Structure 1
Amino acid sequence: MQRSAGSILEVKDLTKEFGGLRAVNGCTLEVQAGSITGLIGPNGAGKSTLFNLITGFETPDRGRILFRGEDVTGLPPHRIFQRGLCRTFQIPREHRGMTVLENLMLVPPYQIGERLWNPWLRPRAVRRQEMGIRDRALAALEMVDLVAWQDRPAGELSGGQRKLLELARTLMADPAMILLDEPGAGVNPTLMRRLTAVIQRLREERGVTFLIIEHDLDLVTRLCDTVIVMSEGATLAEGPPDAIRRDPRVVEAYLGGQYVAVEG
C-alpha cells in the first residue's frame, strides 16, 4: 500500500479541565495518514482524556480537532464514528450475551430491518441487506481469526480475543482511522502477535491509520512509525521510536530515572 501524504488528524491547543484539574493542557499534535503512531506517557499524562476528546466522549474547553480537514470539535461520538474515526477501549465493551457474529452485525447504522414495518412490507430488501452485513461481519472475523467463534457468546472469549473482537467491530464502520487504548494490556504474547499482525495488515491492505496508547515500549518500538509523548496534558516530544527512547526529556518525564535507554 502506498501511504497518503499529509495529516489525517490535527489537534490544536486542546484543553480540558475537571473540577480545576487540567487533564489536557494546550495539547497540539498531528497524525500522518497511513501511519501507525504511538501515544505514550506516564499515568495521568492525559492520554485517555485526549482520546475521549478526539472521539466526542468529552467536549474540550478550548482548542480544535480536525479530521480529514473537517472540524469535528464537540461532535457527538456517533457522528465522529460515522465519519470513519473509531476507537477501542482499554476494557472491551462487547455485548457479552450475544454471539460474536451478532456483535458485529449490530454496528452498521440505518439498517432497514430496524423499522418495525419493514420486515413485513419489505422482507426481500431486509434480507438482502442483512446478508450483506453478515458477509462483511464474517470477513472482519476472518481478518482477526475469530471465525470459529462466530456462534459463541462473546462473554466466552478471553481478554485478548475480546480485544480482537472490538477491533473487528470497528472494521464494520469501514474506518479511515482507529484509536486503540492499550491493546497490549492483559493480552498473552500469542494473541498480541496476532493483534499486531492485524494492525499491520489493515494499514498495508486498507490504508487504515492507527493512533495507539500503549505502555509496552518494546511493542511500540516494533509496531509504530512515530511516537508522540505526552506529559502533564501536553505534547512533550515526537519522533521515531528509537529517538524517543533516547530523548532525555522522555527518560525523565515518562520513565523516571529507572529507565535505561537501549543502544543499537
Structure 2
Amino acid sequence: MQKTDDGQHAHKKPPVLEVRDLVKNFGGLRALNRCSLKVAEGTITGLIGPNGAGKTTLFNAITGFFQPDSGRVLTDGQDITSLPPHGVFNRGICRTFQIPREHGTMTVLENLMLVVPDQAGERFWNCWFRPELVHRQEREIRDRAMEVLDFVNLTHLADELAGRLSGGQKKLLELARTLMAEPRLVLLDEPAAGVNRTLMKRLSENIEYLRRERGITFLLIEHDMDLVMRLCDPVIVMSEGRRLMEGHPEEVRNDPHVLEAYLGGQYGAA
C-alpha cells in the first residue's frame, strides 16, 4: 500500500508481468521448478543463466506456447495463464525468437503489414462490398509499416524477400514486427545471437529508445554479458528452472555464486 498526499491509502500498481510458482515438466525433466519473478513497467529486465536453466521454457509458458503444469502468469494483476498465444498477443505481450521466424517468401514490408490484427481485407465480403475501406486501411497500415522500417533502418530492404536478409537484419525485422502490434511488453530471446557489433549497437539503441520514449517494457534473454550489463536493470539470474537472484547489474556482476556458476569470473571486480 502507498499513501497519497491526503493520507489516504492507494493500491500499488501491479507489475506489468508476474510469474508465480510456475512448474513445467517434460517427462522426467523439470524445466521450471516453482519459478517466480516480476517485471516492473518501463524497465529493460535481463534474464541470464546457463543453457538448460529454463529461460526459453519460461518465455514459452508466459506467451502461451506451453501450458504450465502449475503456477500462474499475470499481467497488470490479471491471470493470463490459460490463454493461447494469440490471446496473450492481444493483451499487448509480444515476443521474438532465438531463431527468427520471418515469412521468408514474403517481402520485408509484407511481413510487417501481416501483423496488424482484424484487417478489413481479411473478410472476403469487404473486398466486394467495401473496397474503399479495405484500400484505405491497407494504405494506413503500409504507411505505418514504412515508419517502423525507417526506425529500424530497414527501409531500403522493404521490397526484399525476408528470407534473404542477414541474421542481424532478421533480428531487426523481428523487433519491427513486434512494434507493429504496439506492445506494452516485449520478450526478446537472445537478440544478440548471430548479430554483428554494428547491428547489435543499432538494436540496443532502438530498445533503449522504445523504453524511454514509448514506455515499452522489455524482458530479454541474453548470453552477451557486456550487452546485459550495459542495457539491463534489473538482471534476473535463473538456475535449474527457478530464480537464483535478482539485482542491479553491479550486484549480479560481483555476486560470487553468479561469478562462479555463470560468468566464469571474467566479470568480477578488478
Range class of TM-score, shorter chain: over 0.9
Separation in structure 1 between the aligned mates of residue 42 and residue 211 of structure 2, nearest angstrom: 6
Aligned partners of 2:14 and 2:76 also within 8 Å: no
The equivalences for 1:174-185 within 5 A come to: 174-185=182-193
The one of 209, 212, 227 equivalent to 2:235 is 227
Aligned partners of 1:231 and 1:254 also within 8 Å: no
Q: Which residue of 2 aligns with 1:262?
A: 268
- Unpaired segments of 5 or more residues in structure 2? 1-11
SS at 2:57 equivalent: helix
Measured after TM superposition, the shift of residue 5 of structure 1 is: 6.5
> Which amino acid letter does the alignment assign opposite residue 263 of structure 1?
A
The equivalences for 1:32-51 within 5 A come to: 32-51=40-59
Separation in structure 1 between the aligned mates of residue 106 and residue 70 of structure 2, nearest angstrom: 40
Measured after TM superposition, the shift of residue 6 of structure 1 is: 5.3
Separation in structure 1 between the aligned mates of residue 101 and residue 69 of structure 2, nearest angstrom: 27
1:27-83 CA-to-partner distances (Å, cap 9, x unmatched) read 010011000000000110000000000000000001010012210002100010011
Q: Which residue of 2 aligns with 1:157?
A: 165
- Unpaired segments of 5 or more residues in structure 1? none
Q: Which residue of 2 aligns with 1:85?
A: 93
The equivalences for 1:43-62 within 5 A come to: 43-62=51-70
The one of 49, 55, 67 equivalent to 2:75 is 67
> Which amino acid letter does the alignment assign opposite residue 269 of structure 2?
E
The TM-score with structure 2 as length reference comes to 0.93
Separation in structure 1 between the aligned mates of residue 201 and residue 89 of structure 2, nearest angstrom: 27
The one of 92, 104, 112 equivalent to 1:96 is 104
**Cα distance change, pair 160–55 in 1 and its aligned pair in 2 (3 A):** same
> Which amino acid letter does the alignment assign opposite residue 126 of structure 1?
V
> Which amino acid letter does the alignment assign opposite residue 249 of structure 1?
H
SS at 1:42 equivalent: coil
The equivalences for 1:1-264 within 5 A come to: 7-255=15-263, 258-263=264-269
Structure 1 stretch displaced more, 149-158 or 48-57: 149-158
SS at 2:16 equivalent: strand
Aligned partners of 1:94 and 1:103 also within 8 Å: yes
Separation in structure 1 between the aligned mates of residue 36 and residue 77 of structure 2, nearest angstrom: 15
Aligned partners of 1:15 and 1:62 also within 8 Å: yes
1:84-119 CA-to-partner distances (Å, cap 9, x unmatched) read 000000000001111100000001111111112211
1:111-160 CA-to-partner distances (Å, cap 9, x unmatched) read 11111221121010001111111111111111111111111111121100
Aligned partners of 2:14 and 2:77 also within 8 Å: no
Aligned partners of 2:109 and 2:146 also within 8 Å: yes
Structure 1 stretch displaced more, 137-146 or 84-93: 137-146
Identity of aligned residues (%): 64
1:150-189 CA-to-partner distances (Å, cap 9, x unmatched) read 1111112110000000110011111000000000000000
> Which amino acid letter does the alignment assign opposite residue 259 of structure 1?
G
Aligned partners of 1:227 and 1:244 also within 8 Å: yes
Equivalenced residue count is 259
Aligned partners of 1:10 and 1:31 also within 8 Å: yes
Measured after TM superposition, the shift of residue 224 of structure 1 is: 0.5
Root-mean-square deviation (CA, aligned residues, Å) is 1.3
> Which amino acid letter does the alignment assign opposite residue 265 of structure 2?
Y
